[in-house]
Structure 1
Amino acid sequence: MSKVYVIKIGGNVIDNPVATQKFLSDFASIKESKILVHGGGKIATQVAEKLGVTTQMIDGRRITDEPMLDVVTMVYGGLVNKKVVAQLQALKCNAIGLMGADAGVILAKKRPVGVIDYGFAGDIEQVNATQLLAFINQDLTPIVAPLTVDAQGQILNTNADTMASAIATALAKAGAEVNLVYCFEKKGVLLNPEDNDSVIADINKEKYAQLKADGIVSKGMIPKLDNAFAALNEGVKEVHIIHADNVHAQSGTKLTL
């Protein structure tokens, strides 16, 4: 089976129309099979404010109550997803916009209430790799919004980094040669968060443990790297964390076991 790139684009890039257009132009020019998973950025917060819906964030994670679920469904699954699809069509990339419910590609369950009640947040249970590969085999490029669905048809807000890792893992288990690429506004994993040129070129599991222990890798980068190593453990060939401008060069941080 041919190579498949699973590429996740961060919300901070989605927030910037110029950066988004540059990234999508580069993405469209990738010759190999590809899937794009996108975040939502600050657009949901802006739309929520216009609609009088209060945004609650804890440790950088959105609390998705019923009113906010309506907002993120409209914004992620509608506004953001369809704008990306439309721009890719203009770039001659035959894209199809999806969320978890579409063709049953991603099944999840509502996250149990723990110390924090995240509301309608989804934890992924199953990715339908057969269906995603069927889209690819029809020369379609899936563009996946960070929304899943449970067995009862309840839409759930789901972390896009986790979705990208789960999709990559499912495709690898289905026999594809998968490269997982996380694109965001930094050049890679940084030794010094204040110095965008202090990129750590290679990180294996042992080095990752040391970087965490030393406090160099912290906050939002930890779940991103946890997802990356989970994918490698499940058969994904390569994982890169790079600047959105370098989707071809992949000159940021390469993760290995």
Structure 2
Amino acid sequence: MTTLSRLYVVKIGGQVIDDPVACADFLHAFAALPGPKVLVHGGGKLATRIGEQLGVTSQYVQGRRITDEATLQLVTMVYGGLINKQLVARLQALGCPAIGLTGADMNLMRAVKRPVKETDYGWVGDLTAEGIRVEAFMRLVEAGEVPVLAPLTHDGNGHLLNTNADTIASCVAVALSAHYRVHLVFCFDQKGVLRHPHDPDSVIPLIRPADMPALMAEGALRDGILPKLENAFAACRAGVEQVLIGPAYALSALSTETSTRAFGTIIRL
């Protein structure tokens, strides 16, 4: 084809999943997005709560979950089971033909177990765009299906791996960018990337790599936003047409083809 179709890869954060009203608004907006699309979801606090009930204590190093064998079983049940299937069922109720998947299904996403350095993160997967099975994704979206991806990959040797959902979204977007005009959207609980972390209206409308040193010097970027920006810049460098970081209503603007400059933060090179 001479003109590539637009495809949305949308990542929903755990904060949105944990908020029933925000999650409902998000799912309505996602279901209304035109054309092919992929949803990647995080885990929220549910795994921690259920883990406490089951006697599985969550351990973190610099905000990253340590995934031992018991924790892997927990997140597989919660991420790949309960959360994934609840999202799929709710999208089906909105007329969106969702199909819930992990990276092991159809060999969609193959990662490698993170090597042990200063910290042993356990069964955590490091994923790259080369680990995405593009032809399988294309078969699904060209058939009109909407993949809903849990943050679980596999190593090709029979073991599941807990994998960062932002990284999954970025890798899927990059891998599909040779075949579609990919728009990558990170939806979370803020209006965008904030210049002043305690002022929810201080949204930075556009960030380029050259802006980063000044923003870092100002203390404008919270620790949690840095991985999103790193993934966003990496995706742009690898061929993704546009990255947007913002709230669920940014999706509503996309579905009506309203300019996104008024909603969230656009990332460009």
Please classify the TM superposition score into its range, dividing by the shorter chain length.
Answer: over 0.9
So what's the TM-score if we normalise by structure 1?
Answer: 0.97
CA distance in 1, matches of 2:106, 2:264: 34
2:99 matched to 1:91? no
**1:129 aligned partner:** 134
| CA apart distance, 1:18 | 1.8
Larger strand proportion, structure 1 or 2? Answer: 1
**1:209 aligned partner:** 213
2:118 matched to 1:106? no
2:163 matched to 1:158? yes
CA contact (8 A) 1:212 1:218 kept: no
2:40 matched to 1:37? yes
CA distance in 1, matches of 2:40, 2:248: 13
1:232 aligned residue (200, 220, 236): 236
**1:220 aligned partner:** 224
Runs of 4+ in 1 over 6 A off after TM superposition: none
CA distance in 1, matches of 2:249, 2:52: 31
**2:257 aligned partner:** none
Q: Secondary structure at the match of 1:107?
A: coil
| CA apart distance, 1:32 | 1.7
Tell me the percent identity.
51
1:191 aligned residue (179, 185, 195): 195
Post-superposition Cα deviations, 1:93-132, rounded to whole Å, max 9, x if no partner, equal: 0000011000011000100011111111000141011111
| CA apart distance, 1:244 | 2.0
2:17 aligned residue (8, 14, 22): 14
CA distance in 2, matches of 1:9, 1:209: 27
CA contact (8 A) 1:147 1:158 kept: yes
Equivalenced residue count is 256
**1:141 aligned partner:** 146
**2:256 aligned partner:** none
CA contact (8 A) 1:39 1:145 kept: yes
CA distance in 1, matches of 2:109, 2:198: 37
| CA apart distance, 1:253 | 0.3
| CA apart distance, 1:245 | 2.9
Q: CA RMSD, aligned part only?
A: 1.0
Bigger shift: residues 3-12 or 55-64: 55-64
**1:255 aligned partner:** 267
Q: Secondary structure at the match of 1:139?
A: coil
| CA apart distance, 1:218 | 3.4
| CA apart distance, 1:59 | 1.8
Q: Secondary structure at the match of 2:119?
A: coil
| CA apart distance, 1:213 | 3.6
CA distance in 2, matches of 1:59, 1:84: 29
| CA apart distance, 1:85 | 0.2
| CA apart distance, 1:155 | 0.2
Unpaired stretches in structure 2, ≥5 consecutive residues: 254-259
